[in-house]
Amino acid sequence: MKRNLNKLWVAIVVLFLVQAGLQVRIFPIWVRDYAPKQTAPVGLSPDQLLAAVAGFREFLAAILWVRADSFFDSGNYDAVLPMLRLVTWLDPHNLDVYSTGAWHMGYNFTDESQRSDRRYIPLALKFLEEGIQNNPAVWDLYFEMGWMYYHKIQDPVNAVPWMQIANEYPNMIPARRHMLAHTLFKAGRFDDAVDHWAKLFLDAEKDRGKDWESSNLYDVRQKNLEDTILDLLRRYGPNPETQPPIDLGFDATVKVVRPRVLLVEGKLGIPTIGARVTVILRDKGKTLRYSPKALKTFTLEVDPKLTYMQDSLAVREEKFRREIDMSKDPKMYPFKAEEYEVEFIFEPRYASPNIQDRIGSDGVGMYDARYLEEVREKPDPVDVPEYAKISDALRREVENPTRETSYYRVRKVITLTRADILMLGKRGE
């Protein structure tokens, strides 16, 4: 038994030496052809770096990813980011780590009232960009980037090019292809949305009846195509239900009731349930740039001096009201600037369908004498990786976007000072 154990140890040592020799020969080739395209990893200690270059990269990455998952489960979110950074540096082709990590940054950092710390969203976008650069020949992370824009940021215009790229991959999950049509519709590109549903419907018709899944896919696409055409006819046809426009009579006020606690209230003349008003408080003259290009390189840190709060207010009986307490989260809301802007916005693109039936998904059926404004947008240019499997025509379209869409919204901005919010020099107010 002892002799067999000695042989086992000898074999292990020999294998380790062989692996070390191969590492010396293979490492330069790996650096040239397969290394991650990011710079040296951020926030890693020397011993972590040593482990990373000593071999067994994917094996170590898998172990660390399991450990990171335990941090997720326990709610220890601050410990997850360094793990994500190390895992992706060890194994830059692990798509799950990039998609889960971006979701974690975009959604899981919240205050006591579950409002997202939106300072992390540019980090999430940069993290996905890095994943795309390291994995350009698969569709998954292009879709994740589009979803982040579509769902979290609620910017369908900039979601479209990423969804378009993902849709060019033949092995994309069929149901995921539907999101491009939904995104095009919210972006105001109604003709393209109908065209995409029609294409998907014709593709599904080829395999209709083959099995339950194929038949269901056909039914889903047929219903979406019909519903989209009917919605357009009702809202923009010969006798549109969006006319005459509704006078929203929009207004909003803000009052500091305690230090770092605001009472926001107002009115919005939508005569049905489901409307929501977005309120944003931020340093005056500053905003978050939701783009991978907002950061030169990926980092684990956010601007500790920037205050940015965003919430969604439900409208009931044409009124909204909420007390927003930022006193329990001083790191998230540091209030270092001297002045702040409180911005109230109602825009129809993400309103419920029953509201869009009356005012349109682009707001053509609403009016306000003081706060109505037209927003014209086109997507930001996308840096498509060289090895992305897309057509030359789409590459030109997303790298040099020219199509502009527009929609209407109501928006009011109120200025507060730091002294106002912190109630400096006041007591019991």
Which residue in this structure is represented by tokens 């408080």? 281
Predicted confidence band of residue 118 (pLDDT cuts 50, 70, 90) = very high
pLDDT tens readout for residues 380-398: 999 999 999 999 999 999 9
pLDDT for 40: 47
Residue pair 325/260 in contact (Cβ under 8 Å)? The answer is yes
Which DSSP letter does residue 363 get?
A: S
Which residues are CB-contacts of 205 (< 8 A; sequence separation ≥ 6)?
Answer: 218
Q: Which of 30-39, 59-68, 392-401 has the least mean pLDDT?
A: 30-39
Predicted confidence band of residue 19 (pLDDT cuts 50, 70, 90) = low
Query: C-alpha angle with apex 306: 155 to 338, nearest 5 degrees?
Result: 120
Predicted confidence band of residue 34 (pLDDT cuts 50, 70, 90) = very low
What tokens appear for 106 in the block? Answer: 């975009």
Look at residues 398, 404, 347, 339 and name the one whose alpha carbon lies nearest to residue 372: 347
pLDDT tens readout for residues 36-61: 544 445 455 555 554 555 556 676 77
How far is residue 207's CA from residue 184's CA, in Å, rounded to a whole number? 25
| pLDDT at residue 33 tops 50 | no
How far is residue 94's CA from residue 101's CA, in Å, rounded to a whole number? 11
Predicted confidence band of residue 232 (pLDDT cuts 50, 70, 90) = very high
For the residues of 331-370, what is the DSSP string, one character each?
TT----SSEEEEEEEE-GGGS-HHHHHHH-TTSTTEE-TT
Is the model more confident about 218 or about 17? Answer: 218
Which residues are CB-contacts of 62 (< 8 A; sequence separation ≥ 6)?
Answer: 91
pLDDT for 429: 42
Is the model more confident about 67 or about 53? Answer: 67
Which DSSP letter does residue 251 get?
A: E
pLDDT tens readout for residues 146-200: 999 999 999 999 999 999 999 999 999 999 999 999 999 999 999 999 999 999 9
Q: Give the residue ranges of DSSP H helices in 169-295.
A: 178-186, 190-206, 212-236
pLDDT for 190: 98
Cβ neighbour number for residue 373 with a 10 Å cutoff? 12
Residue pair 166/417 in contact (Cβ under 8 Å)? The answer is no
Which residues are CB-contacts of 18 (< 8 A; sequence separation ≥ 6)?
Answer: none
How far is residue 280's CA from residue 341's CA, in Å, rounded to a whole number? 8
pLDDT for 355: 96
Taking all residues of the chain, what is their mean pLDDT, rounded to a whole number? Answer: 88
What tokens appear for 274 in the block? Answer: 């489901």
pLDDT for 167: 98
H or E, element range at 269:
none
Predicted confidence band of residue 280 (pLDDT cuts 50, 70, 90) = very high
How far is residue 94's CA from residue 127's CA, in Å, rounded to a whole number? 13
What tokens appear for 131 in the block? Answer: 């994943």
| pLDDT at residue 79 tops 80 | no
pLDDT tens readout for residues 92-102: 999 999 999 99
What's the average model confidence in pLDDT over 129-152?
Answer: 97
What are the structural domains of the chain? 46-236 (1.25.40.10), 246-422 (no CATH)
pLDDT for 95: 95
Is the model more confident about 21 or about 31? Answer: 21
What's the average model confidence in pLDDT over 312-325?
Answer: 97
Which residues are CB-contacts of 350 (< 8 A; sequence separation ≥ 6)?
Answer: 154, 186
pLDDT for 80: 79
| pLDDT at residue 2 tops 90 | no
Look at residues 366, 271, 352, 358 and name the one whose alpha carbon lies nearest to residue 317: 271
Give the amino acid at 231: D
Terminal Cα-to-Cα distance of the chain (whole angstroms): 81
How far is residue 118's CA from residue 332's CA, in Å, rounded to a whole number? 10
